[in-house]
Amino acid sequence: MKPSFRSPLRWSDVTSKADWLNRRQLIAGAAALAATPAMARIEAAASRYSTDEAPNTLEDITSYNNFYEFGTGKDDPAANAGGLTTDPWSIEIGGMVDRPGSYGLGDILAGAPLEERIYRLRCVEAWAMVVPWIGFELGHLLTKAGVQPSAKYVAFETLVRPEEMPGQSSRFIDWPYREGLRLDEAMHPLTILATGLYGEVLPNQNGAPIRLVVPWKYGFKSIKSIVRITLTDMQPQTTWNMLQPQEYGFFANVNPQVDHPRWSQASERRIGSGFFSSRQDTLMFNGYGDEVAGLYAGQDLAADF
């Protein structure tokens, strides 16, 4: 059965589609969600935005990470993020909004239409994965806060808490980690805030308790462990662009025709795939061009990289 978009499916209903999850994992996932008050809703609709590609394993997704607040090695986040306190958690929403304030995670999730979104993730370092996120559209939260007509961009910041984030003792990044989107990108239905993956609460190394996922952009745009969202009329400063503006642009759309100055972006290594089949061509907008190319009509994507 192919479920229609936003049908009120229960976890048990998606079992056949999601044959990568066995029944025991589904039950464990539902129990984990129910056990967390903020995520008590265990129903999640399958989405027409999901890819049919097979997701990476939970092991791949939680052991090979970029989260510089916990160190620069791929295995540092899994080793060091366990001690991050993610409850209580709130996001300060401010700038050009009608209802600014500190929103607790419970408030944010109340009424949020959680869905499973199986998305490709393409890192600027030329590796890729497929991740079954649980999340909801960022537009839902922005609408709740009331975006004012003057707003043109959305700025995001990650938590700064050096006592729990050992990587923040290094000064090579000017913390907090920052990211930003143009308002039309932020309101696009593909752009989600994820609070879970594989049917369970988001692991700390993947950006608990709430992180952005923008699947047509390089992974560095998908900022983790968000504590501040600001609506503004000026393009915000973003961490990798601040560090190396010639190498990392504000837009950072996945684009096989625009190489990184130090490596090709034409192909990518699928994490976890076999040695001989591990390289694959990179797709324009990471395969999401039908949905998002229109956002950039008339823009020179080599200049606006």
Instruction: Select 209 or 219, whichever has its Cβ closest to ligand MTE.
Output: 219
162 three-state secondary structure: coil
Using CB under 6 A as the binding criterion, the count of chain residues that bind ligand MTE stands at 17
Mention every residue, 6+ apart, whose C-beta is less than 8 A from residue 26: 11, 12, 15, 18, 199
Are 182 and 234 in contact, with CB atoms under 8 Å apart? no
223 interacts with ligand MTE by CB under 6 A: yes
Select from 50-58, 140-148, 223-231, 245-253 the region that touches ligand MTE (CB under 6 A).
223-231
Instruction: Select 144 or 221, whichever has its Cβ closest to ligand MTE.
Output: 221
165 interacts with ligand MTE by CB under 6 A: no
Find the shortest distance in angstroms from Cβ 60 to ligand MTE: 9
Segment 51 to 110, residues that bind ligand MTE, using CB under 6 A:
65-69
Instruction: Select 67 or 103, whichever has its Cβ closest to ligand MTE.
Output: 67
The residue at minimum Cβ distance from ligand MTE is 219
The sign of the torsion formed by the CA atoms of 239, 242, 248, 251 equals positive
Segment 250 to 289, residues that bind ligand MTE, using CB under 6 A:
none
Closest by Cα among 191, 108, 134, 111 to 11: 134
Q: Is the peptide bond before 88 cis (omega within 30 degrees of 0)?
A: yes
Pull the structure tokens for residue 77: 């986040």
Instruction: Select 65 or 253, whichever has its Cβ closest to ligand MTE.
Output: 65
Are 157 and 242 in contact, with CB atoms under 8 Å apart? no
Segment 180 to 219, residues that bind ligand MTE, using CB under 6 A:
206-207, 219
Q: Is 225 left (phi over 0), alpha (psi -120 to 50) or beta?
A: left
